[in-house]
């Protein structure tokens, strides 16, 4: 789930102990399992509410608690954002998946008070090439952000890596991708949304330092058109302002002395 832009920088991104990271990884493994189950169920004719029920069952059966359900009044376990919806789409019995839909599922879980948060984008059946490229570049941008989670880097080194990967994707596919304005990643731990707010673009070398044990939820969101969004009448669903399609990928990631540790894999 997306951080709201009011989170502010700290001098060092909060560090977690080895045991705390293991607890976050336990929550993250439930999120990963829920996303696998949701993707398996996502076929034409299935409602996004059914996907929500599947995710909740996986999390509760695994001993976790859905992070999103009841969060500031949010009414579901997952965010199901289809086609031009970017994030925070509320699952519905009346929203049935159709062939060619581009679906983003965001999911969170709590285990022993620690949060995991992750998102994937996929097609219902085959995607047209431009939609497949959009999701691919967003996933590559996530991978670039993860790779920047190294000790001694600063927050916006991650932001810059995400932006650079997006621009590289533009050159490869010969078209632009909009980096969604006003939304980004965040710190995570005993709360789902913590300082600092993580932009998905910007100059490197700014913001708090990354140190072993620092954890961020990294989540690039790209569109095929405008960078601007609107909030729909349900006061949750964020959609592209021009109706273009969107993709969203996310992992919760820890800095270590060695390689970054993905806690939601």
**Which tens digit of pLDDT belongs to each residue from 10-61?**
599 999 999 999 999 999 999 999 999 999 999 999 999 999 999 999 999 9
Cα torsion through 124, 243, 178, 128, rounded to 10: 30
The values of phi and psi at residue 107, to 5°, are -150, 145
The model's confidence at residue 64, banded by pLDDT at 50, 70 and 90, is very high
Longest C-alpha distance within the chain, in Å? 49
**For the whole model, what pTM was predicted?**
0.95
Phi first, then psi, for residue 61 (nearest 5°) are: -65, -25
166-215 pLDDT, tens digit each: 999 999 999 999 999 999 999 999 999 999 999 999 999 999 999 999 99
What CATH architecture applies to the domain 18-262? Alpha-Beta Complex (3.90)
């Amino acid at each position: 789930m997306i951080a709201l832009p009011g989170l502010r920088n700290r001098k060092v991104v909060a560090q977690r102990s080895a045991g705390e990271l293991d607890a976050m990884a336990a929550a993250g493994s439930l999120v990963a399992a829920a996303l696998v189950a949701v993707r398996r169920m996502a076929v034409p004719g299935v409602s996004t509410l059914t996907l929500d029920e599947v995710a909740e069952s996986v999390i509760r059966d695994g001993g976790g608690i859905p992070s999103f359900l009841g969060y500031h009044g949010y009414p579901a376990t997952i965010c199901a954002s289809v086609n031009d919806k970017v994030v925070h789409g509320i699952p519905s019995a009346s929203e049935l998946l159709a062939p060619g839909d581009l679906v983003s599922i965001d999911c969170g879980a709590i285990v022993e008070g620690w949060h995991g948060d992750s998102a994937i984008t996929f097609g219902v059946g085959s995607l047209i090439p431009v939609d497949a490229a959009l999701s691919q570049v967003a996933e590559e941008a996530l991978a670039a952000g993860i790779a920047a989670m190294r000790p001694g880097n600063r927050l916006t080194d991650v932001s810059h890596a995400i932006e650079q990967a997006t621009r590289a994707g533009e050159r490869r596919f010969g078209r632009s991708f909009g980096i969604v304005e006003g939304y980004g990643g965040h710190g995570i731990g005993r709360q789902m949304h913590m300082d600092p707010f993580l932009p998905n673009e910007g100059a490197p070398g700014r913001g708090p330092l990354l140190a072993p044990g620092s954890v961020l939820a990294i989540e690039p969101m790209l569109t095929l058109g405008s960078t601007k969004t609107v909030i729909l009448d349900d006061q949750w669903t964020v959609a592209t302002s021009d109706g273009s399609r969107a993709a969203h990928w996310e992992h919760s990631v820890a800095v270590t002395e060695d390689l970054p540790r993905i806690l939601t894999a």
